[in-house]
Structure 1
Amino acid sequence: MRGQLPPGARDFVEVPFAVPDGVREIAVSYAYARPDVPDGTLGNACDIGLLDADGRLRGWSGGARDSFRVGERDATPGYLPGPIAPGTWRVLLGPYTVAPQGLPYEIHVTLHHAPAIGPPAPAPAYPPSRAPGRGRSWYRGDCHLHTVHSDGSRTPAELAAAARAARLDFIVSTEHNTTSAHAAFAAEAGDDLLILTGEEITTRNGHLLALGTDPGTWFDWRFRARDEDAFARTARAIRRAGGLVVPAHPYGLHLGSQWKFGYEHADAVEVWNGTWTLDDEAALATWDNLLGHRVLPAMGNSDAHREPQVVGLPQTVVRADALERGAILDGLRAGRSWIAESADLDVEFEAVAEGGARAGVGDTLPVRADEPVAVTLTVTGVPDPVVRLVTDEGQTHLAFAERVEWRTTSAATAYVRAEVRHAGNGTMAALTNPIRLLDTPTEGGR
């Protein structure tokens, strides 16, 4: 099948082909022209996937593969095995960018016929939603990761090994626009590692993490910010599937990765993605500005695809009642978490009122307007740390120390959060969600 897509082509183009009865496997390969373009002009890039006869997505590899196969019992990573029903199937093309000369393409589809091979394949097995854990404790996790099931190079086994080496307690599978890795992780979970399922929904106007969703639940990514209510509908679907809605790398440097949907329907935001860079500084500033009127927790994840990208750099450390899906998601949703560059680093952050009431990360401390509150931060594992305490007014305390104490009142401070940076280059080592101070009236008024 051949065709040509013009500049300004639709985001997604379906190329139909007929599948007769008796087909047991479909193999697809494709190629497209990559003509030279003037400096500063985007050339051709075209992603690919497959829709079955019922219009369901059977897989998506984006631009990571030039061929794939889907069979009754197995499939290329990124694609779902299962019955090959007769009817009209469609190759799904995603012209990411189109050169001024257009994008000529050629698709080869091979249909493999064979006698029926017995009963249907068993239902996929998924990783368990609970691990033994340590009861109520702090648990370290990386919630944005990729394998060969999208555009990564690690296998699920290699990713799980890297997570264990990073001393993580949990990870989340977030392949681009596909759920095929969910079942592949069943063999990699264990008493020492909880593996949750999810998806990175990669729209043309930003990427969205669906975290901790029901295994096998897929979310469509084919919408833009201009599509009325599309993000809100997707957010509702993610929550119905038990998951969290988390915009990823809001100031990402790749085309289409900058977040354009706003934060009204988000449960948290990824402010630290991989090695700390200027786009993370921008995300941090945007998040801090939101805190003045909205409790929106921050997260940090590695977004690791391949070596030398480090799994667990950074990681989100969450206080949860158990190492269990619901408890971990509850802790993340409430902001009872902080972000670290590695498991070598630890932070203790607390606010204590003069009357004895106390609160930790993600908590609210009700206190009289004029009652003194002592805020303390203790850092271990960071040589020569630079500590910043930041409130709704901005930076209020700066110290070159492993332990700092600062005093305030709820009349002066609505929230306080902490940053720990490296003295040499100013990059982030740790970042906390805020402690909120709630101004409560005294008896008989203020």
Structure 2
Amino acid sequence: MQPARAAPVVTGAAAALTLGGVTFASGAEAADGDQETRTVRGTLPTGSPDFVYVPLDIPSGVRELKVAYTYDRPSVPAGTVGNALDIGIFDERGTELGGRGFRGWSGGARTEFFIRADEATPGCIPGPVRPGTWHIALGPYTVAPQGLTYEITITLTYGEQGTVVDPVYPPERAKGRGRDWYRGDCHLHSWYSDGRRTPAEIGALARAAGLDFINTSEHNTHASHAHWADVAGDDLLILLGEEVTTRNGHVVALGTEPGTFIDWRYRARDNRYGRFARQIRRAGGLVVPAHPHATCIGCNWKFGFGEADAVEVWNGPWTPDDEMSLADWDSMLVSSVRNGRDWVPAMGNSDAHRDPDVVGRPQTVVLADDLTREAIQDGIRAGRSYVAESRNVVLSFTASGGRGEHAGIGERLDVDHETPVTIRLEVSGAPRCTVRFVTDQGVLHTSAPLPVAGSGVVEWRTTPSYAAYVRAELRHESALGPLPGALAAFTNPIFLGSA
């Protein structure tokens, strides 16, 4: 059976193609355990809409919905994209932008999924399979010149619905140490999207990395939120979120209310991103554009930073695209001091998916009043943080005036513009690394390499008229002559002078 094609329609998301519907016999006469299967096939050409919907008319009496799919992967010339097809599901409440009917997203991580009242495939939301028109959502991420031929098999199992299980979420507070520096990794993937680790495995790795908090960030689904309660503990705070994976960049929703879903079905040209950034904040979360210069298709950030609470400058092992993100962020700092605007703090996360990805490489170290969701978010939002490659790297970065004035990371040293200021960085855990002090003019001071023991103190003197802000970088030895080495750590800035 092949559904008839229909013209592209606007469904409240970006322009999308809705195909002819798939119908099943009435479930009223089906016996418990009976199954009914339909198979649909089609071909998507290059230039297809971002989303193609296949309607399913689900009768009453269905206990389980199962969907499996395949698609062809033809050979293509070098430099030409091949086929990649994502898949998800919306229930009878519809596909309108905002996700009221959202029931799951596998992306390209799985070839099949199921939904029942009591259980669902990771990435999907368990709950009743109610009668009405459901929609399989296909996302042709890339399409080869030959087109993309797919086959979808839908199987309904009839019978009495199982018991819906009430979700249990992790607490918003861990034991903590009062006002202190807390280490966290806010961009992680489990098997609830395209990761290969269970929440328990991630929790164990987070503890081994010396982390105090983590944030869940599955691609385009909140399905993992109810599966972290057993991983949390007095020593590990677990924030809940999502990586909103649009076709024009990814954004981490950091620390939203349990069960919050943020839609991703739009591009920058649709002018809808602001609506969902505000939804993240209404749900108690932070808006953090992720890996803004990543090279994967659709990963490069195109929405601007006007809605950002922070930006993920360092993502995973240090690479040239991180160097670009760091330079871009530094230019944003210069613009903020020039125009008197609010600044956007930086952070770093591992984006770990599977072995050998290292949880906590890098990690954001936040000065917070306690180990709670609200306190950690306040510290990130205020920029009271630095980023380190591991738990071994510990920094203390301050600016002081001649009369006892003092400021730390993310703060302002409020002194006259000609007042002498002492910048001081104390370091441990960074053998042979070089310290650089970066200002709105660029790098104005570079230290000799630290000793093999990895500890040291570097001081530099300036004035607010010479440097509007100062931030610190800790660099490994360079393998490419005059080019800077990979980062071991960097801080958010300290601003100098009256606002």
The structural deviation recorded for 1:116 is: 4.0
| DSSP 3-state at the match of 1:439 | coil
Q: Partners in 2 of 1:231 and 1:417 — Cα distance?
A: 31
| DSSP 3-state at the match of 2:435 | strand
Return 38-47 or 330-339, whichever deviates more: 38-47
For the 8 Å contact 2:116–2:161, the answer to whether it is kept is no
Residue matched to 1:11: 50
1:13-412 equivalence runs, <5 A: 13-55=52-94, 56-117=101-162, 120-228=163-271, 230-294=272-336, 295-400=343-448, 401=450, 402-412=456-466
The structural deviation recorded for 1:51 is: 0.6
For the 8 Å contact 1:171–1:196, the answer to whether it is kept is yes
| DSSP 3-state at the match of 2:324 | helix
Q: Partners in 2 of 1:352 and 1:14 — Cα distance?
A: 60
**Which runs of structure 1 show a deviation greater than 3 angstroms over 4 or more consecutive aligned residues?**
none
Partner amino acid, structure 1, of 2:62? V
Q: Partners in 1 of 2:440 and 2:304 — Cα distance?
A: 21
TM-score (norm 2): 0.86
The structural deviation recorded for 1:47 is: 0.3
| DSSP 3-state at the match of 2:306 | coil
Partner amino acid, structure 2, of 1:18? D
| DSSP 3-state at the match of 1:233 | helix
Q: Partners in 2 of 1:314 and 1:292 — Cα distance?
A: 25
Per-residue CA deviation, residues 127-165 of structure 1 (Å, 9 max, x unaligned), is: 100001000000000000000000000001100010001
Which consecutive unaligned segments of at least 5 residues does structure 2 have?
Answer: 1-39, 95-100, 337-342, 451-455, 480-484
For the 8 Å contact 2:117–2:161, the answer to whether it is kept is no
The structural deviation recorded for 1:239 is: 0.6
Return 400-409 or 367-376, whichever deviates more: 400-409
| DSSP 3-state at the match of 1:190 | coil
The structural deviation recorded for 1:424 is: 4.7
Per-residue CA deviation, residues 32-60 of structure 1 (Å, 9 max, x unaligned), is: 11222222211111000011011211110
Q: Partners in 1 of 2:253 and 2:364 — Cα distance?
A: 16
Q: Partners in 2 of 1:171 and 1:116 — Cα distance?
A: 35
Q: Partners in 1 of 2:195 and 2:371 — Cα distance?
A: 27
| DSSP 3-state at the match of 2:415 | strand
Return 416-425 or 301-310, whichever deviates more: 416-425
Q: Partners in 1 of 2:176 and 2:478 — Cα distance?
A: 36
Per-residue CA deviation, residues 7-42 of structure 1 (Å, 9 max, x unaligned), is: 100000110111111111111100111222222211
The structural deviation recorded for 1:362 is: 0.5
| DSSP 3-state at the match of 1:130 | coil
The alignment status of 1:428 with 2:470, answered yes or no, reads no
Q: Partners in 2 of 1:354 and 1:115 — Cα distance?
A: 77
Q: Partners in 2 of 1:39 and 1:392 — Cα distance?
A: 42
Residue matched to 1:443: none
Per-residue CA deviation, residues 311-343 of structure 1 (Å, 9 max, x unaligned), is: 000000000001000000000000000000000
The structural deviation recorded for 1:123 is: 2.1
Q: Partners in 2 of 1:247 and 1:439 — Cα distance?
A: 30
Per-residue CA deviation, residues 186-217 of structure 1 (Å, 9 max, x unaligned), is: 11000000000000011111111110011110
Q: Partners in 2 of 1:255 and 1:116 — Cα distance?
A: 41
Which consecutive unaligned segments of at least 5 residues does structure 1 have?
Answer: 441-446
Identity of aligned residues (%): 59
| DSSP 3-state at the match of 1:287 | helix
Partner amino acid, structure 2, of 1:72? A
The structural deviation recorded for 1:438 is: 2.3
For the 8 Å contact 2:62–2:161, the answer to whether it is kept is no
TM-score (norm 1): 0.97
Count of residue pairs the alignment pairs up: 437
Partner amino acid, structure 1, of 2:264? W
Per-residue CA deviation, residues 336-376 of structure 1 (Å, 9 max, x unaligned), is: 00000000110010001111010000111100122111000
Residue matched to 2:10: none
Partner amino acid, structure 2, of 1:261? F
- Alignment RMSD, CA only? 1.0
For the 8 Å contact 2:244–2:264, the answer to whether it is kept is yes
For the 8 Å contact 1:27–1:111, the answer to whether it is kept is yes
The structural deviation recorded for 1:403 is: 1.4
For the 8 Å contact 1:47–1:94, the answer to whether it is kept is yes
Per-residue CA deviation, residues 67-100 of structure 1 (Å, 9 max, x unaligned), is: 0111110001000100111011111000001111
The structural deviation recorded for 1:378 is: 1.0
